[in-house]
Amino acid sequence: MSNLILNSLEIRNFRAFEHLQIERLGRVNLIVGKNNVGKTSLLEAIQLYASRGAPLLIWEILGRREESRLRYSDHRVNIEELLTALKYLFYGRREVMSYFGPIQVGSINLLETALSLFVGMYTRQVDEEGKRQWRLLQPEEYDLADSPTPRLTVQIDGKVSISYQLDNTLSPRLLTSEIKEINSVFSVANGLTKRQIGELWDNIALTSLEKDVLEALRIIAPGVEGINLVSDTPASRDRIPIVKIRSIDEPLPLRSLGDGMQRVLGIALALVNARDGILLIDEFENGIHYSAQPDLWRLIFRVANRLNVQVFVTTHSWDCIEAFQQATQENTQNEGLLIRLENKRGKLVATALDEERLAVITREQIEVR
């Protein structure tokens, strides 16, 4: 597992995590725990890390939870609205202009090389070449500076530092990331949208990766022979997946075979599009019958290893844990880990369980959810 993007994980000041450490990560990681222990937040932190703090991704994360209703347009945006929305990302929902330390995500004991994110106050100054540059102010300079301006600041590897404008000229053009991102795909709990499925399909259409998608669909419907996407309606840009079933002449809408097929399609497309990157799946079990889960996990292990994908998945389901354990036990490369999040005396902590301990948990039916 030497090619893993993250061999361990340390998070500071992000959402519910004041300081979280996971000392070991695998190729495929299943995250469990009670409600409100931060399972989805853990996925978000990893996605933020992979995006290298891309501002557009930050607003997408906030939008998923309806923490921000801001939309990108040419209309003016209130600065206070932006700062109020951003505080949801910081531990304790503290005011972002109050300095309690940046959000940090990276490998354990290497936070100086990790992603660091904060909102700072800047002022314009003229450098030695006569160019106007942004300079980060210290708190004691706020009242003395000329026109201090809040800017979203991203630091990578302790070296690269970029700040993004956060004022009433907000637009996508001004929030385009200038740092090379790590490839990542996030399949949210309620599945991918039609637009997302269309984009992911277009990326792999007519390539060998189609075979992996078909193999996933055949876990539920063995008679599937082919898949394509067609226009939803003549006036719509959305497309819907249709499938060819053995012994049936006409293609069928995929959803006519059940919501589970749509969910499996989304997971499979996300997986093959995450090559050399990270796949994130929230609430894996949604829409998927327990009997199909062991084979789907086997497929994920196999394809993730072949395409060099690191996988992070959350679940509330005991059936999902048992299916994961079966696939992990059969995997000869010891690539699966169960990560349990729990609240201990008001602090969120993580415990990583390898295949041997996971086998004991499922055999003895020890509660870990």
Asked if residue 158 has pLDDT above 50, the reply is yes
Asked if residue 172 has pLDDT above 50, the reply is no
Q: Which residues contact 63 (CB under 8 A, 6 or more apart)?
A: 69
Cα–Cα nearest to 356, from 317, 325, 333, 323:
325
Contact 53, 115 (CB under 8 A): yes
pLDDT at residue 24, as a whole number? 95
Per-residue pLDDT tens for 280-308? 999 999 999 999 999 999 999 999 999 99
Helix (H, G, I), strand (E, B) or coil at 244: strand
Q: Within 13 A of 137's CA, how many CA atoms are on the CB side?
A: 21
Which tokens belong to 288?
């998927």
Asked if residue 70 has pLDDT above 50, the reply is yes
Asked if residue 144 has pLDDT above 90, the reply is no
pLDDT at residue 74, as a whole number? 40
Higher pLDDT, 309 or 130: 309
pLDDT at residue 2, as a whole number? 56
Asked if residue 15 has pLDDT above 80, the reply is yes
Sign of the dihedral defined by the CA atoms of residues 189, 193, 198, 199, in that order: negative
How do strand 336-344 and strand 347-353 relate by DSSP bridges? antiparallel
Helix (H, G, I), strand (E, B) or coil at 13: strand
pLDDT at residue 125, as a whole number? 82
pLDDT at residue 81, as a whole number? 79
Name the one residue in this structure whose structure tokens are 């679940």: 315
Structural domains in the chain plus CATH codes: 9-49+274-364 (3.40.50), 55-175 (no CATH)
Report the greatest alpha carbon distance in the chain.
78
Contact 256, 242 (CB under 8 A): no
pLDDT at residue 201, as a whole number? 97
